[in-house]
């Protein structure tokens, strides 16, 4: 993408911001001109937040992979597109130029077509962090199939829910994955899920561990047998700007995770523009984001944003502490990484291992270091700035969500002012407001409120898969005329935003989102459990951890055994990433007279803020609070 889109000074940012607010259609129309379209749009934007109806670049035709791959071949054909670093530092890394990546994507795209996948079909991807994961996303996009990536830590039950909700025709998976010293099965988990997924016709299995997994005749095919002989060219399917590009399931405060839908045109423009500006990417830079492509950060800032910009993007299979807690810093020195993006959880866990691991590496190449996915505390921010950034690099704190598709509030490389724990200013085109309880905009500074958006941006979600009403109710109904993020935020006198955290029943554990209802439903699958209530509480490394209050049917003879059973049920229904750290057995829960659980009280108990529990006289059974406090873990 042309560097004409790059903002180079703070004054220029202010100017652009103003323009983007005064005339969004002109602003985004000019940015969109930089991309390759098969047919130009009739209108830049058509919207209302009531239905909601959100259309960007309507009437235009494009294929995002033409923009992420083909467009670069002439000038960047031999430039590295993807560098893959394996879990084990002794294993060989993989590097693909733009030409090579293009060829790999086309080969898989041809295989998908041959196996019956057509435009609009859904393909679920359940893979380790290997190049084939990025290739799978792009191959789907090449032929207009809608990808739905499922993080490889989710259980078979979660896969089943997602596959069935999307009515996926195909699954792409692997025998298993490496995670530090462990090897974890994937195909076996998929097999279990597919016992109850009638829509799936075929499965492609990549061989990562040489495990020779069970293969179902006529359904399962080895990657190398269906992909390797394919042609390296595959025409890019013309897509309407508003055709879905992908579904990504994410948790909310109620019910099962919902499928956030992103579309081709707006998502392309939004991810590329924000990538270029937030990281201030220069042509010869090497960029690395440590997220997993199972989450939105990996979609937007490992795959689409960087490749649309013609960047070199690093992908890492492993974990920060294997073989030792210097692994991230070793990789930065190995490839001369210039922009680095990670999560506060990773920073805090590495901080706990001491400075020596980071001081052993030069980190000279770094220019911009980013934090994303959860609020970063002051101590972690300062450690990151001092020991990783050597007080020389810009720290950018990116606030956004699966639903927003791209970064919304953040510093832009070294051109924006930095303030520890503050994400900063909105990106051009982003119009945040803080609302009070009554839904009125708060104008003052140094105040807190509900973080909402009063205007659309190109990469925003369009709907929730198969249930538009749910999208409307979740994001556009709390405050009429606004998109509600579910976060609370504070704005200082200079207009910088600090994200405080979720104000709904969503818990963010190590940057991973879970709904309390989702975890409670999993716990309640135990025969012996009558009712449960789950809340988040502060955790020094994970940001938040999960505390479960559980009522059992009969007297528990062996608490440890019962705890184990509850943990297993959460692991089975969701995945081990969602297991509660603390489980307290109780005889009742604090409820209002209408039967609603008072989570505020449970949160105070879990947070050890007993003094600020407040008035409990309106409860159905105020005594229960004393019991809960007495039994607190």
Binding-site ranges for ligand PRX (CB under 6 A): 250, 295-297, 372-375, 397-402, 423, 485-487, 499, 501-502, 508, 513
Q: What secondary structure letter does DSSP report for 374?
A: S
Considering the complex, state which of residue 111 and residue 394 has its C-beta at the smaller distance from ligand PRX: 394
Rounded least distance, CB 188 to ligand PRX, Å: 27
Considering the complex, state which of residue 299 and residue 367 has its C-beta at the smaller distance from ligand PRX: 299
Considering the complex, state which of residue 434 and residue 566 has its C-beta at the smaller distance from ligand PRX: 434
Considering the complex, state which of residue 320 and residue 486 has its C-beta at the smaller distance from ligand PRX: 486
**Residues facing 313 on adjacent strands:** 82, 287
Rounded least distance, CB 328 to ligand PRX, Å: 18
Considering the complex, state which of residue 202 and residue 348 has its C-beta at the smaller distance from ligand PRX: 348
Rounded least distance, CB 633 to ligand PRX, Å: 25
Alpha helices in 280-389 (DSSP H): 296-298, 305-308, 327-335, 344-351, 356-359, 378-383
Considering the complex, state which of residue 169 and residue 462 has its C-beta at the smaller distance from ligand PRX: 462
Rounded least distance, CB 602 to ligand PRX, Å: 20
Considering the complex, state which of residue 44 and residue 315 has its C-beta at the smaller distance from ligand PRX: 315
Place of tokens 């979609």: 299
- The pair of structure tokens assigned to 580 is 């509660």
96 contacts 104 by C-beta, under 8 angstroms: yes
180 contacts 103 by C-beta, under 8 angstroms: no
- The pair of structure tokens assigned to 227 is 């992909």
Rounded least distance, CB 336 to ligand PRX, Å: 26
Rounded least distance, CB 389 to ligand PRX, Å: 16
Alpha helices in 429-472 (DSSP H): 468-471
Q: What secondary structure letter does DSSP report for 145?
A: P
Which residue from 295, 374, 320, 422 is spatially nearest to 538, judged by alpha carbons? Answer: 374
In this structure, the chain runs to a length of: 633
Angle at 220 between CA 217 and CA 225, to 5 degrees: 105
Considering the complex, state which of residue 381 and residue 549 has its C-beta at the smaller distance from ligand PRX: 381
Q: How large is the angle between the packed helices 24-32 and 10-22, nearest 10 degrees?
A: 120
Rounded least distance, CB 576 to ligand PRX, Å: 18
Rounded least distance, CB 297 to ligand PRX, Å: 5
| Pairing between β-strand 497-502 and β-strand 146-149 as defined by DSSP bridges | unpaired
Contacts 24+ apart (CB under 8 A), 499-505: 499/375, 499/399, 499/409, 499/423, 499/451, 500/375, 500/448, 501/374, 501/375, 501/544, 502/536, 503/450, 504/252, 504/253, 505/253, 505/254, 505/599
């Amino acid at each position: 993408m042309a560097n004409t889109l790059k903002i180079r000074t703070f004054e220029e940012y202010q100017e652009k911001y103003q323009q983007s607010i005064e005339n969004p259609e002109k602003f985004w129309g000019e940015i969109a001109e930089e991309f390759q379209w098969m047919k130009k749009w009739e209108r830049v934007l058509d919207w209302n937040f009531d239905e909601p109806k959100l259309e960007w670049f309507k009437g235009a035709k494009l294929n995002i992979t033409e923009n992420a791959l083909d467009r670069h071949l002439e000038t960047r054909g031999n430039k590295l597109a993807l560098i893959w670093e394996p879990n084990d530092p002794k294993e060989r890394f993989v590097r693909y130029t733009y030409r090579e990546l293009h060829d790999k994507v086309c080969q898989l795209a041809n295989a998908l077509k041959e196996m019956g996948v057509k435009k609009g079909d859904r393909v679920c991807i359940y893979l380790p962090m290997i190049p084939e994961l990025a290739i799978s996303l792009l191959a789907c996009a090449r032929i207009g199939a809608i990808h739905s990536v499922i993080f490889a830590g989710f259980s078979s039950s979660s896969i089943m829910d997602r596959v069935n909700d999307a009515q996926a025709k195909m699954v792409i998976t692997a025998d298993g994955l490496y995670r530090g010293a462990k090897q974890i099965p994937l195909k076996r988990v998929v097999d279990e899920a597919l016992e109850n997924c009638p829509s799936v016709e075929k499965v492609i299995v990549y061989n990562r561990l040489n495990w020779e997994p069970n293969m179902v005749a006529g359904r399962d095919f080895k990657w190398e047998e269906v992909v390797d002989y394919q042609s390296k060219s595959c025409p890019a399917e013309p897509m309407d700007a508003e055709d879905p590009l992908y579904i990504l399931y994410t948790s909310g405060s109620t019910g099962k995770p919902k499928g956030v839908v992103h579309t081709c045109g707006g998502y392309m423009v939004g991810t590329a523009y924000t990538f270029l500006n937030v990281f201030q990417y220069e042509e010869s830079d090497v960029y690395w984001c440590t997220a997993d492509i199972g989450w939105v950060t990996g979609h937007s800032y490992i795959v689409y944003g960087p490749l649309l910009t013609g960047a070199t993007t690093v992908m890492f299979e492993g974990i920060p502490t294997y073989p030792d807690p210097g692994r991230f810093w070793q990789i930065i020195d190995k490839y001369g990484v210039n922009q680095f993006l990670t999560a506060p959880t990773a920073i805090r866990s590495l901080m706990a291992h001491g400075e020596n691991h980071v001081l052993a590496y030069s980190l000279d190449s770094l220019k911009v270091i980013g934090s994303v996915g959860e609020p970063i505390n002051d101590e972690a921010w300062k450690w990151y700035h001092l020991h990783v950034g050597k007080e020389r690099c810009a720290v950018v704190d990116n606030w956004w969500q699966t639903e927003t598709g791209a970064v919304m509030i953040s510093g832009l490389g070294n051109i924006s002012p930095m303030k520890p724990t503050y994400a900063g200013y909105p990106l051009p085109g982003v119009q945040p407001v803080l609302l009070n309880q009554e839904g009125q905009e708060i104008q003052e500074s140094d105040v807190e409120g509900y973080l909402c958006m009063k205007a659309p941006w190109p990469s925003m979600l369009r709907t929730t898969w198969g249930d538009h009403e749910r999208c409307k109710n979740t994001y556009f109904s709390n405050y009429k005329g606004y998109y509600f993020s579910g976060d609370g935020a504070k704005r200082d006198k200079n207009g910088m935003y600090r994200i405080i955290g979720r104000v709904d029943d969503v818990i963010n554990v190590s940057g991973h989102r879970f709904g309390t209802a989702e975890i409670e439903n999993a716990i309640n699958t135990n025969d012996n459990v009558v009712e449960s209530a789950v809340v988040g509480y502060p955790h020094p490394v994970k940001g938040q951890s999960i505390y479960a209050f559980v009522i059992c049917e009969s007297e528990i003879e062996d608490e440890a055994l019962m705890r184990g059973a509850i943990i297993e049920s959460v692991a089975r229904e969701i995945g081990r990433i969602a297991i509660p750290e603390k489980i307290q057995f109780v005889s009742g829960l604090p409820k209002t007279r209408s039967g609603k659980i008072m989570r505020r009280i449970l949160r105070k108990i879990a947070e050890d803020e007993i003094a600020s529990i407040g008035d409990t006289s309106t409860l159905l059974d105020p005594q229960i609070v004393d019991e809960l406090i007495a039994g607190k873990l």
